[in-house]
Copies of this chain bind each other. A is one copy, B any other.
Amino acid sequence: MTTRLDHSIGDALFDRAQRVIPGGIYGHQTPAFLVAGAFPKFLSAAHGCRVVDPDGHQYIDFMCAYGPMVLGYGDPVVEAAAERQRRLCDVGTLPAPVMVELAEKLVDITTGMDWAMFAKNGSDGCTWSIAVAREATGRDMVAMVGGSYHGVHGWCNAFQRGFPDGERATVLTFSWNDAASLERLFAAHHGKIAAVMITPFRHEGMHDSELPTREFLDSVRRQCTSNGAVMIVDDVRAGFRINIGGSLQHWGVTPDMTVYSKAVANGYPLAVLLGADSLRTPAQGVFYTGTFATQAVPLAASLATIEQLIVRDAIVHMDRVGRRLCNGLAQRASAAGLAVTLSGPPSIPFMTFVADDGGFDRSRTFSAECAGRGAFFHPHHNWFVSMAHSDADIDAALAIAEVGFAQVLAEHGADQA
């Protein structure tokens, strides 16, 4: 039996929630995606890389709010910039000057991108980018990697329920790191594909992450160009943890459009659509807006976040502490005689147990034990590190992980030779 904390206050809150919210908690935060009884259901406080549940238990958080927290919860420099803007104005009848400053900054730092537009969700950005590509090409079809998550809109909603088939009629799928599968789509739908959307690495849930091969990225880039299709990178999840110029710059490839959200404003709600000059006029042709799209405080927070990511050399830091985490986990698993797979970029790491063989039984035991001892590792979704994770935080989490591995051994036995 894994270590279990007393969650009675949080559980009582969840009982109340179930009366007034379908399922109590929904979407990516649903308790159904975690381990019943082992994880908290709510968080009452968050500072730096630590979160506190309603029963007062503290956790080193390796989810970072599923990505947005990149400098630390409540980062003082970002909060000060947000507060300065808040005293002037936030949502308004017209946008605030900070919108221009942020667009200039994003265009300046992002390779190949000449303009920026703003929204509220990653879903908004991905759908908008496709609309721009359709407007640019006069074509309807979109190619994406099967199983990739690009949000919850009808064309890509993973669970599909509630959306008619017609909304997916223009969506084609190919396979990750398989350039030939995209070639086949272009051949079968010659002159009809408006856009190819990929993530910088494959980070599908319930799956080891997979980095792109250079050959794959080069081929996607080449195929988009030769077929007159727009290459879009959904950098919503990975953005600002791999390369400040856009995650694909790590592999030296430049897309035509980039979608950011999550970490772009250290937790303030913002999505950004960036595009090359050739797509400027089509972007003007598509009507996309929202009451809060140009809300000023998140824009000011984003400007400060980007400046601080650069000043603090945060991507280098996250790569380093991510490696410390991954190496430490690999060593401790190995010492326990357990084979694990560490995948993804070090700053967005993930671990599975080889003996789980695509299931997540050991992952659930491990993450439940870690949760009971104060480290929040999701059982089957990639993790995130941040600028706020110090070496000491990583080492504290590794000490907890060591007990987690022991518990896996106790519950599931040693790996078969």
Query: Which residues of A pack against B, CB within 8 Å?
Result: 13, 16-17, 19-23, 25-29, 40-46, 51, 53-54, 61, 63-69, 73-74, 79, 86-97, 99-100, 103-104, 106-107, 114-117, 120-124, 127, 130-132, 134-135, 140, 151-155, 157-159, 161-164, 166-167, 169-170, 236, 261-262, 267-269, 275, 280-295, 376
- How far apart are the CA atoms of A362 and B323 in the complex, in Å? 66
Q: Which of B61, B287, B292 contacts A159 (CB 8 A)?
A: B287
A162 to B16, Cβ gap below 8 A? no
B121 to A44, Cβ gap below 8 A? no
Q: Which of B120, B169, B236, B287 contacts A157 (CB 8 A)?
A: B287
| Total copies of the chain | 2
Hey, which chain B residues are within 8 Å of A44, CB to CB? 88-89, 96-97
Most chain B beta carbons < 10 A, residue from A91, A92, A93:
A93
- How far apart are the CA atoms of A29 and B288 in the complex, in Å? 11
Which DSSP category, helix, strand, loop or mixed, fits chain A's interface?
Answer: loop
Hey, which chain B residues are within 8 Å of A236, CB to CB? 291
Hey, which chain B residues are within 8 Å of A292, CB to CB? 68, 120-121, 269
B91 to A284, Cβ gap below 8 A? no
Q: Which of B25, B27, B89, B97 contacts A13 (CB 8 A)?
A: B97
B170 to A166, Cβ gap below 8 A? yes
Shortest A13–chain B CB gap in Å is 6
A-B contact pairs, 15 of them (CB 8 A): A17-B99, A21-B103, A25-B94, A26-B289, A43-B89, A51-B93, A66-B93, A69-B91, A90-B268, A123-B124, A130-B162, A152-B288, A159-B286, A164-B169, A166-B167
Name the residue on B nearest A119 (C-beta).
B121
Hey, which chain B residues are within 8 Å of A127, CB to CB? 153-154
Hey, which chain B residues are within 8 Å of A17, CB to CB? 99-100, 103
A290 to B43, Cβ gap below 8 A? no
Shortest A416–chain B CB gap in Å is 34
Hey, which chain B residues are within 8 Å of A134, CB to CB? 162-164
A289 to B28, Cβ gap below 8 A? yes
Given contacts A68-B91, A93-B63, A93-B65, contact A27 B288 (CB under 8 A): yes
Shortest A4–chain B CB gap in Å is 17
B158 to A287, Cβ gap below 8 A? yes
Shortest A280–chain B CB gap in Å is 5
Hey, which chain B residues are within 8 Å of A151, CB to CB? 290
A27 to B290, Cβ gap below 8 A? yes
